[in-house]
Amino acid sequence: MMVSDPIADMLTKIRNAGRAKHASCKVKGSKIKKAILDIMKDEGFITDVQEVKERSFTDYEVFLKYDDSKKSVIREIAKVSKPGRRVYIQSSEVKPFKSNLGVTILSTSKGVMTNKKASKLNIGGEVICSIS
């Protein structure tokens, strides 16, 4: 089945796996998805990402992170820029997300990065998603 927005599909799989209290979930692979997953790991929203090779396809096994009360550390995850409505921000519009309790992931001319890094580099770009 063809997915119209693969990044939104990945975020939905992660959200649903967290709500169902699964240890991990498998998502289809791409370079931008790998960059987003690496940021999520660096920011502490997931524990690990492993590459799974199947024939000529690459998938990623995403290991979810839970707190002491067995709740997913990802409280909210949402796709901002969608195929029908792209959302871009300038460097002056990059600001902290929810009082620094979460991150916004941007696709910039310097690669995929968080709002914090984009603010330091003084660059804007397309807002991919927000996670808290």
Q: How many CB atoms lie within 10 A of CB 90?
A: 10
pLDDT in tens, 44-57: 999 999 999 988 89
Q: What is the pLDDT of residue 127?
A: 97
> How many angstroms separate the Cα of 100 from the Cα of each of 68, 97, 108?
22, 5, 20
**If you search the block for the tokens 């699964």, which residue do you land on?**
22
CA distance 102 to 47: 16
Give the separation between CA 33 and CA 51, rounded to whole angstroms.
12
Phi, psi of 100 (to 5 degrees): 65, 15
User: Of 101, 94, 113, which Cα lies nearest the Cα of 42?
Assistant: 113
Domains, in order of start, for the chain: 6-67+75-131 (3.30.1490.10)
Residue 96 pLDDT: 75
Q: Regarding beta strands 46-54 and 103-108, do their DSSP bridges make them parallel or antiparallel, or are they unpaired?
A: unpaired
- The count of residues in the chain is 132
From residue 1, alpha-carbon distances to 4, 6, 57, 102 in Å are 10, 11, 15, 32
Q: What is the pLDDT along the chain (132 residues), one digit of tens a residue?
A: 678 999 999 999 999 999 999 999 999 999 999 999 999 999 999 999 999 998 889 999 999 999 999 999 999 999 999 999 999 999 988 887 666 678 999 999 999 999 999 999 999 999 999 999
